[in-house]
Structure 1
Amino acid sequence: MIPSVLPTYNRAPLSFVKGEGSWLIEADGRRFLDLGAGIAVNALGHANPDLVAALTEQAGKLWHVSNLYNIDQQQSLADKLVDNSFADTVFFTNSGTESCELAVKMARKYFYEKGQPERTTIVAFEGSFHGRSSAGIAAAGSEKMTKGFGPLLPGFVHLPWGDHDALREAAAKPDVGAIIVEPVQGEGGIRPLPDQCMKGLRDLCDEHGILLIFDEVQCGVGRTGKLFAHEWAGITPDIMMVAKGIGGGFPLGAVLATENAASGMTAGTHGSTYGGNPLACAVGNKIMDIIADDAFLAEVNRKAALLRQKLEGIVAAHPETLESVRGSGLMLGMKCKATNLDLVKAGYGAAVLLVPAGDNVVRLLPPLNITDEDIAEAASRIDAAATALEQA
């Protein structure tokens, strides 16, 4: 008999009833150090008092009115995002998947309105993850994401990661309108796109009149030590997808765009019933007030260096189990020699939560405000998990 919850998840045998900062408390009272943060969602940890206060205050005033009317909290958050990014305009969604849908629509509508309706093809890359909607799985293209869900949404080509010749050839084709890429691949195994490659992408798009779409759903909102990961390369996209950290645990996403890239999206071309509702935007406003601060981001970088140093030490101490550390900021991955899922399971025994990814990597995506003490404890527990795996 099928469960009442559709069985599409391979869930761990854990059930958490409370969260405090970087910690989750199991129903039986055990405390787990959470280095996944809800897959990079709980940017300020669990039950953050500032976010709780912002949500509670808004909940006592107004929950939902729909986008038939002006929403003050939405306008405030849009202004903050515009003021702190390349963007001129913002559309609010409830998730990264919805942000992907709009990014694809926006790029194609742009060329339609410019009198180039044939430019519908979007170039994407092996190892990518852009959500689980029809556009998202078509953009990713992997068998794991697409098998059994055909016919797939057409208009995507998939290139090997790092194949510059294939990229230059694809960009020159007359039907190509956009390139979509994650500045740091998350699901693909914490693979940062080098700064010079991001600069090259921007130059290539400018050369051929192509729109550049960055998927910063996982790597954005302070995760890499800049508000947005592409800032490290000193370039900007035309369209950017955001979600996860922007809501700090409350469902919220956004598409940020330049005025030019968004020019085709006029009244009636897109919409959302819940997107940008007062509750979500109240939390998003508080997130931006905290994370967009230079001093906060400096602390993210300091803590990232501390965590990475400790992880490098763990890799050196377990050469049969672990291979290397990679990533950017507090978006780190440990490349495994043992099976990554086995290390994740060993982490349960050590009461530390890690997240699996592609390329046999485990992800570490802790809250951005994780304490130094919790970083030290994290290292101790990961070391214990690796030891337990070796002794199993």
Structure 2
Amino acid sequence: MEQTAKDVHTKEELFPTYKRWDITFDKAEGVTITDKNGKRYTDFMAGIGVNNLGHAHPAVVKAVEKQLYKGWHASNFFQYDEQKETARLLTSHSCGDLVFFANSGAEANEAAIKLARKHTGRPKIISFVQSFHGRTFGSMAATGQTGIHEGFGPMLEGFEYHPYNDVNELEKAVDNDTAAVILEVVQGEGGVRPADHEFLRAAEQAAKQTGALLICDEIQTGIGRTGKFFAYEHSGIHPDIITAAKALGNGFPLGAMIGREFLRESFGPGSHGTTFGGNPLAMAAAKSTLETLLHEGWVEAAAFKGERFLNELNQELTSLSIVKEVRGMGMMAGVELTEPAADKMKKLRDKGMLVIAAGPNVIRMLPPLTMDEETLSGGVQKLKEVLLS
């Protein structure tokens, strides 16, 4: 039977891959999102840890707008001054020396996995239960969640999943067949679970002893989120590869893999590539984001405000019977409940506060680093009201 014009226009034309809220985005500025009906929401999720400088930051908008008139794309056969300058900002604020620019966090992790295997000539990648590294086949295989794997056939071989924060299991797992250990300094999607310093140092030591590489996935924790430029700095370790994305372009699609100098020859011409990665618009957004973040002191602000934010969450919420635990680092917080969080999150949206889940029972908050203390405190009180209702 032929479809009528009415049939076609009443069909949903998007794959149902997201459980979307009943909110239609209209505009965003600072820490506020406005829907098409004019309702305003205070954004405690920052586009899932993306808008660290808030929405539509004037410096980033100006930089991207300027580049729009200079050119969008020419391909990576050309040299771009902005790529070199942005790479220098990343390497000067990390233990890395070289940068590969991609379009997303998943692509950055794909590059890291490829580089680790190519450099070591080994097949095995150690990952951790409840980790999340992306949804492409390589990054999905690195993800220690069976729910992410289901329905897609055999996973890429060579990946093992071990308990997070378990030093004994980690040390037994890393051997002379191991290409890399990949970990999140704070498991974001896995429930906002920070790694113990001892665990991170053990991962670094095990990698060094066996000739494996240590990959820190800083897609969500990097670019100031935890009160350091990268979260691994809290433990004093020196990973061989760092991956970044999300906040790197303050909303512009962009990813980066940062590696140590000794890896240079393993990623030579023809070994890896991307059409759009590192394009001029992305570099304009990233360079402006990083310069603003650093020059205006937002990393230090995240450390100071984040400590107060987490302290207030603990003081106000841990005595509630519905709250199992408050966890976090810097401006990254998770409140684990004794029941599913979906209903409470819906009530928060109704009250004009946006948060996101990290598993079925965890309310995750990733506010812009620019959010003032009064607004942060107001969010804690609103959350408390909803949890008591």
Q: Structure 2 length normalisation: TM-score?
A: 0.94
Equivalent of residue 91 in structure 2, options 54, 71, 82: 82
The count of corresponding residues between Structure 1 and Structure 2 is 380
**Amino acid in structure 1 at the alignment position of 2:328:** G
Task: Trace 1:18-33 onto structure 2 (pairs within 5 A).
Answer: 18-33=27-42
The residue that corresponds to 1:115 in the other structure is none
Aligned-pair CA distance for 1:320? 2.4
**Root mean square deviation, CA, Å:** 1.5
Q: Distance in 1 between matches of 2:227 and 2:166?
A: 27
1:160 and 2:182 correspond: no
Q: Distance in 1 between matches of 2:301 and 2:165?
A: 31
Query: Which stretch has the larger CA shift, 80-89 or 247-256?
Result: 80-89
Q: Deviations over 1:253-296 (max 9, x none)?
A: 10000011343111011111100011111110011112234833
C-alpha contact 1:106 1:262 (8 A) present in aligned 2: no
C-alpha contact 1:84 1:292 (8 A) present in aligned 2: no
1:275 and 2:284 correspond: no
SS in 2 for 1:197: helix
Aligned-pair CA distance for 1:141? 3.7
Q: Distance in 1 between matches of 2:164 and 2:197?
A: 15
The residue that corresponds to 1:196 in the other structure is 198
Q: Structure 1 length normalisation: TM-score?
A: 0.94
Aligned-pair CA distance for 1:137? 1.2
Q: Deviations over 1:233-255 (max 9, x none)?
A: 11110011100010100001100
**Amino acid in structure 1 at the alignment position of 2:291:** D
Identify unmatched segments of 5+ residues in structure 2: 1-6
Q: Distance in 2 between matches of 1:275 and 1:100?
A: 14
Q: Distance in 2 between matches of 1:186 and 1:334?
A: 12
The residue that corresponds to 2:53 in the other structure is 44
The residue that corresponds to 2:141 in the other structure is 138
Identify unmatched segments of 5+ residues in structure 1: 113-118
Aligned-pair CA distance for 1:313? 3.1
Q: Deviations over 1:305-336 (max 9, x none)?
A: 2212321233146x122222111000111111
Q: Distance in 2 between matches of 1:165 and 1:136?
A: 25
Q: Distance in 2 between matches of 1:132 and 1:283?
A: 24
The residue that corresponds to 1:304 in the other structure is 306
Equivalent of residue 210 in structure 2, options 202, 208, 211: 208
SS in 2 for 1:264: helix
C-alpha contact 1:35 1:352 (8 A) present in aligned 2: yes
Q: Distance in 2 between matches of 1:213 and 1:37?
A: 25
SS in 1 for 2:266: coil
The residue that corresponds to 1:335 in the other structure is 336
**Amino acid in structure 2 at the alignment position of 1:55:** V
Query: Which stretch has the larger CA shift, 366-375 or 294-303?
Result: 294-303
**Amino acid in structure 2 at the alignment position of 1:65:** A
The residue that corresponds to 2:294 in the other structure is 292
C-alpha contact 2:228 2:299 (8 A) present in aligned 1: yes
The residue that corresponds to 1:364 in the other structure is 365
The residue that corresponds to 2:172 in the other structure is 169
The residue that corresponds to 1:151 in the other structure is 154
Aligned-pair CA distance for 1:87? 0.9
C-alpha contact 1:301 1:329 (8 A) present in aligned 2: yes
SS in 2 for 1:260: helix
The residue that corresponds to 1:345 in the other structure is 346
The residue that corresponds to 2:19 in the other structure is 10
% same residue:
38
